[in-house]
Amino acid sequence: MTHLVFELAPTALTTAQHTLAPYAVAHQNAHALTVAKLKGCTLTLYASGKLLIQGSQAQAVAADLGFMEMAEQASSKNTAISNSTRPTATGQPSNQLSLIGSDEVGNGSYFGGLAVVASYVTPSDHTWLRQLGVGDSKTLTDQKIRQIAPLLEEKIPHKALLLTPKKYNQVVGEGLRHNAVSVKVALHNQAIFLLLQEVSEPEAIVIDAFTSESNYRKYLRQEVNQFHQPISLIQKAESQYLAVAASSIIARKLFLDNLDSLSQQIGLTLPSGAGTASDKVASQILARFGQDGLTQVAKWHFKNTQKAYNLLKKR
């Protein structure tokens, strides 16, 4: 989905409202002056002076309503729109927006749960986040994650959800309610839904992409809790948006804490990932505790389960 962001001067707000008036629709956005619909696009004019246009025809709509011309004029006069937020054709939300960013950790690990976190970050948070060293959790050591995450948890509004292996195995698998993709849709949707109840209306919502937008929408129809704000699924979003990066770090700590807790419960060190080390530990768990023991700490539908059984037979 394409996003265009215009930062209008106060004197341009009235003009923008009049322009959008014929297409205005009822809305529940407490921070918006006007919400309009045109050619499948949603146009949101905020009291702050920002105009957000979302939809595949965003550029065409902006041109039809004169906002592209306004941007060109402002570019030369440096008044109506700032260079940092000038609309582009990247198809991604601007970093200058207030964002909810959501990410998950544990999806590729055989042992441990699935952690999903949604965080609300505004541009005023960016300096502090960068000074803290916030970035993609995959590029940070576990020690650094454990140092940063508590600070983020304290300052950044967020919602964290953990699906333990026991619960995961009750809902994910053949003949069960979810598959490996639909369960992530459910968790992301719920985390964002809960966060929206507590924070100001974000100007965009970004999820680190794990499936196509059409697939996401298909599974989303199964969810009871819904929200009206559009989302953007963006590849490697954790390296592009600080809101997603913050969520990635908090989720990584939640996953690590759960893995440590499960290791203590089972009496074995559970490795992260889904490699041969996981196969060996799983076979040991099967030998000591059987299937019931393994389903308490591992995602049963992974191929590692069959590999663990194969190793057990060779003993």
Q: If you compute the radius of gyration of the chain from its CA atoms, what whole number of angstroms results?
A: 23
Do residues 41 and 154 share a domain?
no
Mean pLDDT of 249-273: 97
CA atoms of 148 and 132, how far apart (whole Å): 7
State the pLDDT confidence band at 46, using cuts at 50, 70 and 90. Answer: confident
DSSP state of 159: E
pLDDT score for 310: 95
State the pLDDT confidence band at 175, using cuts at 50, 70 and 90. Answer: very high
Q: Is residue 207 part of a domain?
A: yes
Residue 205 host element (H or E): strand 204-208
Q: Which of 28, 60, 85 is the last residue of a domain?
A: 85
- Residue 274: phi, psi to the nearest 5? -140, 40
What is the number of structural domains in the chain?
Answer: 3
* Tokens of residue 148, six digits: 């940063």
Q: Which of 261, 277, 300 is the last residue of a domain?
A: 261
State the pLDDT confidence band at 74, using cuts at 50, 70 and 90. Answer: very low
Q: Is residue 58 part of a domain?
A: yes
Do residues 217 and 294 share a domain?
no
Do residues 26 and 172 share a domain?
no
Give tens-digit pLDDT for 184-212: 999 999 999 999 999 988 888 999 999 98
Half-sphere exposure of 83 (CA within 13 A, CB side): 4
- CB atoms closer than 10 angstroms to residue 66: 13
Lowest mean pLDDT across 8-17, 42-51, 150-159: 8-17
For residue 57, pLDDT over 60 is answered with yes
Q: Is residue 93 part of a domain?
A: no
CA atoms of 164 and 115, how far apart (whole Å): 8
pLDDT score for 88: 35
Residues spanned by the domain of 10: 3-85
Lowest mean pLDDT across 87-101, 111-125, 137-151: 87-101
Do residues 163 and 195 share a domain?
yes
Distant-in-sequence, close-in-space partners of 288: CB < 8 Å, separation ≥ 6: none
pLDDT score for 63: 86
Do residues 10 and 127 share a domain?
no
* Tokens of residue 54, six digits: 């979302």
CA atoms of 63 and 21, how far apart (whole Å): 17
Q: Is residue 92 part of a domain?
A: no
Do residues 272 and 252 share a domain?
no
Lowest mean pLDDT across 23-37, 109-123, 153-167, 274-288: 23-37
Q: Is residue 91 part of a domain?
A: no
pLDDT score for 82: 33
Give tens-digit pLDDT for 288-309: 999 999 999 999 999 999 999 9
Do residues 163 and 234 share a domain?
yes
pTM assigned to the model: 0.78
pLDDT score for 79: 37
Burial bucket for residue 240 (CB in 10 Å: 0-12, 13-18, 19+):
middle
Do residues 253 and 272 share a domain?
no
| CATH number of the domain enclosing 15 | 3.30.310.10
Do residues 39 and 120 share a domain?
no
| CATH number of the domain enclosing 242 | 3.30.420.10
Q: Decide: helix, strand or coil at residue 249.
A: helix
pLDDT score for 85: 35
State the pLDDT confidence band at 70, using cuts at 50, 70 and 90. Answer: low
Do residues 136 and 230 share a domain?
yes
Strand 232-234 and strand 204-208: the pairing is: parallel
How far separated are the first and last CA of the chain, in Å rounded?
A: 54
Do residues 158 and 71 share a domain?
no
Q: Which of 51, 85, 119 is the last residue of a domain?
A: 85
Q: Is residue 94 part of a domain?
A: no
Do residues 22 and 166 share a domain?
no
For residue 87, pLDDT over 50 is answered with no
pLDDT score for 258: 98
Burial bucket for residue 153 (CB in 10 Å: 0-12, 13-18, 19+):
middle
